[in-house]
Amino acid sequence: MNAPIVVAAGLTVLLLAFGGLTTNVGPWYRDLRKPSWNPPNWAFGPAWTLILGLAAWAGVSAWTSTVDSAAHLRIAILFAANIVFHALWSPLFFNWQRPDWALIEVPFLWLSIVALMVGLTPLSPLAGLLLTPYLLWVSFAAVLNLAIVRLNRPFGVRPG
């Protein structure tokens, strides 16, 4: 197995594990009002696994399509930024119980995916296609996040 595949798979597993550890679907989340079109909780794990697997494939596709070290650096920077923004959302929403802050963070995640698509597509058109489900899912999640904020605000107000 070659190094780009090992690195992409390892990072994907770490990101999925981090997401799972920072997503507490406990009483607080269960008690939130959610729109009728909210997917069932069990759907999120498989969706994210598939989406991040496709993103890893996109990274490998772009990486192996070039031997240019400057292009490799751009790919690494684009994915590093995306990983940071991706990893921020769950703790904001679930651990800090601040869907409003998570909603503020979503545009940064969305733009990091667009940047990946713009940066990787010239190296590998397949990479851009593989990232499309990620962009679509985050767009859907942003609308869902907005609906939850509207149905449940205000957040961060302590009784007393």
CATH number of the domain encompassing residue 95? 1.20.1260.100
Residue 104 resides in a domain: yes
Query: Which among 142, 71, 131, 65 is positioned nearest to 104, based on CA atoms?
Result: 142
Give tens-digit pLDDT for 17-56: 777 777 777 899 999 999 999 999 999 989 999 999 999 9
Residue 160 resides in a domain: no
Helices (H), the chain: 3-21, 27-31, 41-64, 69-90, 99-120, 125-152
pTM for the predicted model, two decimal places = 0.89
Number of domains in the chain: 1
For residue 9, the enclosing domain spans: 3-152
Residue 52 resides in a domain: yes
Is the bond into 159 cis (omega within 30 degrees of 0)?
Answer: no
- Within 13 Å, how many C-alpha atoms sit on residue 80's CB side? 6
